[in-house]
Amino acid sequence: MDEKKAQEYINILRRTDVFYDLSEAQLQMVAGVCSEAEYRMGEIIFEENSTGDELYVIARGEVEILVDPSLVQTTPGPGTGPVTIATLRSGQTFGEVALVDRGLRTASARCASRRTRLLVIPRERLIALCDSYPELGYRVMRNVAADLAFKIRGTDLLIREQLLWRPRPPA
């Protein structure tokens, strides 16, 4: 990768929560394992319940995170189909769960703007960096844990609202 492209990746990574507090040298190492991908409006980046081992950073554009209730319902109800639970924008990350546990994707990701550009970070290469440079690994994993905790709290709030919200009876 040329110097200009590496610096561009570093500037993108610097704006993300997952790579917060990394030194310039550490950001340079992470930038070295990145590749990029572009998507157009409506294109699926990955499907819920598919395998995956990449972390994504949104360099430009928007990505919708969707869950499909019909995947867990035994009898489909009205209006079943994917539901958008979040819209992520430039500087945000997604795919962290597969990064941590190599399990199936917990949601789908779909391009939500005319053109979306992503940095793609393969799990194996990032984990190798974390193993080789424990301080970098500690910071990245601490930040991934904080990011996932923030997202879990937001999801918990949405679930509570859905479970506890009851329409008022007519007066």
Model confidence at 78, pLDDT cuts 50, 70, 90, reads low
Q: Within 13 A of 60's CA, how many CA atoms are on the CB side?
A: 11
List the strands of the sheet with 115-122, edge to edge.
35-40, 115-122, 54-60, 93-94
Percent of all residues in the chain with a pLDDT value above 70, rounded to a whole number: 91
Q: What separation in angstroms does the CA of 72 have from each of 47, 77, 80, 85, 113? A: 15, 11, 11, 16, 28
Q: Please give the Cα distance from 131 to 145 (Å, whole number).
A: 17
The CATH number of residue 148's host domain is 2.60.120.10
Q: Is residue 66 part of a domain?
A: yes
Q: What separation in angstroms does the CA of 152 have from each of 98, 156, 157, 168? A: 15, 6, 9, 29
Model confidence at 42, pLDDT cuts 50, 70, 90, reads very high
Domain range enclosing 80: 3-164
Q: Is residue 170 part of a domain?
A: no
Count how many residues are written for the chain.
171
- 36 forms bridges with which residues in the sheet? 119
Q: Is residue 169 part of a domain?
A: no
- Across the range 83-105, mean pLDDT stands at 88
Model confidence at 155, pLDDT cuts 50, 70, 90, reads confident
* Residue 72 pLDDT: 64
- The number of distinct structural domains making up the chain is 1
Write down the mean pLDDT value for the chain.
89
- Across the range 53-61, mean pLDDT stands at 96
Q: Is the pLDDT at 144 greater than 60, yes or no?
A: yes
Q: Is residue 171 part of a domain?
A: no
- Across the range 41-53, mean pLDDT stands at 93
Q: Is residue 95 part of a domain?
A: yes
Q: Is the pLDDT at 121 greater than 60, yes or no?
A: yes
> What kind and span of H or E run contains 28?
helix 24-31
Q: Please give the Cα distance from 54 to 36 (Å, whole number).
A: 12
Q: Three-state SS for 123? A: helix
